[in-house]
Amino acid sequence: MAIFLILAPYGVYTFLMLVTSATTSVFAASAICLATIAIDVARGRSVKILAAGSAIVFAAIGLALALLGPVLGTLGVKLSIDIGIFLLSLGSMLARRPFTLQYALESVPAETAAMPGFLHANYIITGAWTAAALLMAAANLMLLYVPGLPLWSSLAVAFAARNSAIYFTKWYPEYRQTKYATSTRVLPIAR
């Protein structure tokens, strides 16, 4: 269930892009990110890299749209968000704090978090999300620079990439649990 709350700003953004302006869509997504941060803080949890970074990405794009007008266009906005999330995800790994680690540390017993493969598993799962963001950005880039490419092709890539990352996030901890015969989940973020 946690994964759906984590992805809520992106779902709202995607839906609103169909029915309202890009500016409204990204500001609404940023507000939802801020609401998830407030919920975490109220529950005594840490501020998550993904939530804070996403709020900044959405707000920055929203400010650019508000100040400069719709110069990016719909595809430019989508590409900017995909690139922002890719950089956020990659940056979290380069900073040696894969963004999935924060969710995992709050969801597993201390003995699971102390296991040798725990951090490695979080790098792998964050890597899957980084690859998904890169694929979505590449699909939007192709739409911008390959005339005549159908819009559904980008949507199909985004759908497949996101759903593959969700599936992998659920599958990989179970795989590691089976492979290494541990009694607890490596990363229960997908519950």
* Confidence grade of residue 42 (pLDDT, cut at 50, 70, 90): very high
Q: pLDDT at residue 19 above 50?
A: yes
Q: Which two tokens stand for residue 64?
A: 């650019």
Q: Could you count the other beta carbons within 10 Å of the beta carbon of residue 13?
A: 25
DSSP string covering 100-168: HHHHHHTTS-HHHHTSHHHHHHHHHHHHHHHHHHHHHHHHHHHHHHSTT--HHHHHHHHHHHHHHHHHH
Mark residue 108 as left, alpha or beta (left: phi above 0; alpha: psi -120 to 50; beta: remaining).
Answer: beta
* Confidence grade of residue 187 (pLDDT, cut at 50, 70, 90): low
Q: Average per-residue pLDDT in the chain? A: 88
pLDDT digits (tens, 9 = 90+) for 59-88: 999 999 999 887 788 888 999 999 999 999
Q: How many domains does the chain have?
A: 1
User: For the chain, what's the residue count?
Assistant: 191
pLDDT digits (tens, 9 = 90+) for 137-164: 999 999 888 888 898 888 899 899 999 9
Alpha carbon 130 to chain centroid distance? 8
Range of the domain at 58: 2-190
